[in-house]
Amino acid sequence: MTFGAELARGRLTAPWCPRCGAHAWPPSGACGRCLGPAELRPFPESGAVVGLSSDDAGAFCLADFGGGIRIAGRLPPGAGARVGMRVRVAAAGTRGGRPFYDLEPAGK
Amino acid sequence: MNRVAAVAGGVARFTRGPSTVEESLLAAVRELFAGSPGIDRGEVGAVLVSTNDGSGYLAAVLSELAGMRPAAAHTVESLCSSGTSAIASAAAHVAAGLADVALVAGADRHDGPGQALGWDASRGELWRPVHWASLFAAAYKREHGATDGDLAAVPVRNRRNALDNPAAYAGADVSVSDVLSSRRITGDLRLYDCAVPCTGSAAILLASEGAARRLTDAPAWIDGIGQRADGAGLSSADLSRMRSSEAAGRAAMSMAGCGPGDVDVAEVHDAFSVCEPMALEALGMAGRGRGAAMSADLLATGDRRVNPRGGILGAGHPPGATGVAQACEVLAQLQGRAGRRQVPGARTGLVHNMAAAATSSTVLVMRA
């Protein structure tokens, strides 16, 4: 299974290299450090908001989940969004062929 | 290595018209040779096309359309910094002796595919440039205490500058309050903070020292080239500074043996308002966190040394043409033929261009 195929089924994973221990991110089938094949690991439990803005659909952010993994995702209304806030992935998948990541406060 | 100079440039008017990318490329080449009738197209040994259009074989197509038979003809694509990347490659051709004269022509259409990076899955549904630019603006304001009003000086000045650029698409006499009352695009960007996609083209001719001295009496020497690619994904970006531009700027100025204080005129990448102060800081032309104040000072004093052609906000943004048009402006400034846009006494010029949330950058230092 690939990252994209898993995501299309609503499962967010983190490609990881068993040879050198680095994450292959942005998502890739090979490790950018040693070029070894990456395997899919569970996505990190929580991350921190490092950038925050909004549009007509609400707040969106860039969140850092460690190990070089960052994703841009949306936050729900009333989440009290702020830089530094701990978040987790509430839902992920694809819409119209593109990935989406819905985040929520990690303490929820 | 051969010393390399820019000897002639041509910019076709940026529009929202129906021209194909092939027609646009040819229009810029016609402008170039019409402005330099003494230059024989038969001397062109390399043709590099800068575009994100996706049409195949464009450099060979352009060569045929313009009656040239160069030894080398190929295309360079690097999203918004395609044009400066192509100039760097063409300069390398000339410096290495692979060509004595090289033509770089850049073009894109307003509806072309070069406005955003679709590959990066980590951006999710937030993959359009307004999303990273909005995160940039929010981070810059938060880190440096800048306001929307501070950043509004950038589109005000650059759109006004563009009124004196006959090739510009988005010139306008707007005020800070016009910017602040324009339609909200995101929580941190308004309509006037954003560059306008348009169709446009530009071309520039590079030559070895011997050829340059024969072809013009006012060459602009490309004495410094710096490039840096830190990645492509948003994970590689720093939201409040352009690290790839810092590295590219240092490399270009080191090669040229100059510093930011020596720069008389600069075209810097301002696809969104916040980009100009971030670029000025990355290049060392403004202190950290002082870029917005510098942009405001330039507006207050009528100083045109930054983005005299109107930058990207004023000229419009056909990505494949942008870097070439920036270099054409600096060439015109150093040749003293920039008309109402002329920065008096400009001897050293700088071109800064970046792509995809500043994950890569190219900087050129040019001297009269």
* pLDDT one-digit tens code per residue, B46-102: 999 999 998 899 999 999 999 999 999 999 999 999 999 999 999 999 999 999 999
Average pLDDT, integer, range B171-183: 98
Residue A17 has pLDDT above 60, yes or no: yes
Across the interface, whether the CB atoms of B126 and A26 are under 8 A apart is answered no
Q: Running DSSP on this structure, what letter comes out for residue B196? A: P
* Residue B205, helix vs strand vs coil: strand
Q: How confident is the model at residue B116 (pLDDT cuts 50, 70, 90)?
A: confident
Of B97, B99, B104, B65, residue with least CA distance to B82: B104
Phi–psi pair at B212, nearest 5 degrees = -60, -45
Determine the residue of chain B that is closest to A4 in CA distance.
B121
Task: Decide if A38 touches B, using CB distance below 8 A.
Answer: no
| Cα B360 to Cα B357: distance, rounded to the nearest angstrom | 8
What are the residue ranges of helices labelled H in B96-220? 129-144, 148-162, 176-181, 209-215
| Cα B365 to Cα B352: distance, rounded to the nearest angstrom | 9
- Which residues of chain B neighbour A26 with C-beta distances below 8 Å? 119-122, 232-233, 235
Q: Which of B124, B137, B233 sits opposite A73 (nearest CB)?
A: B124
Share of chain B above pLDDT 70, in %: 100
Q: How confident is the model at residue A107 (pLDDT cuts 50, 70, 90)?
A: confident
- The four Cα atoms B124, B130, B135, B136 give a dihedral, to 10 degrees, of 130
Report field, pTM of the whole predicted structure over 0.95: yes
Q: How confident is the model at residue B112 (pLDDT cuts 50, 70, 90)?
A: confident
Q: How confident is the model at residue B21 (pLDDT cuts 50, 70, 90)?
A: very high
pLDDT of residue B117: 82
Residue A23 has pLDDT above 90, yes or no: yes
- Inter-residue long-range contacts of A27-31, CB under 8 Å, 24+ positions, other chains counted: A27/A3, A27/B121, A27/B122, A28/A3, A29/A2, A29/A3
pLDDT of residue B115: 73
Distances (CA, A) of B276 to A31, A39, B100, B152, B292: 35, 41, 35, 11, 8
Across the interface, whether the CB atoms of B139 and A51 are under 8 A apart is answered yes
Q: How confident is the model at residue A108 (pLDDT cuts 50, 70, 90)?
A: low
Across the interface, whether the CB atoms of A68 and B235 are under 8 A apart is answered yes
Across the interface, whether the CB atoms of A55 and B134 are under 8 A apart is answered yes
- Measured in angstroms, the CA of A3 and the nearest CA of chain B are apart by 10
Average pLDDT, integer, range B129-154: 97
Residue B222 has pLDDT above 80, yes or no: yes
pLDDT tens-place string over residues B286-317: 999 999 999 999 999 999 999 999 999 999 99
| Cα B200 to Cα B20: distance, rounded to the nearest angstrom | 10
- What is this model's ipTM? 0.96
Centre a 10 Å sphere on the Cβ of residue A43 and count the other Cβ atoms it contains. 18
Determine the residue of chain A that is closest to B184 in CA distance.
A55
Average pLDDT, integer, range B131-145: 97
Q: Which residue has the tokens 């004023």?
A: B314
| Cα A24 to Cα A40: distance, rounded to the nearest angstrom | 10
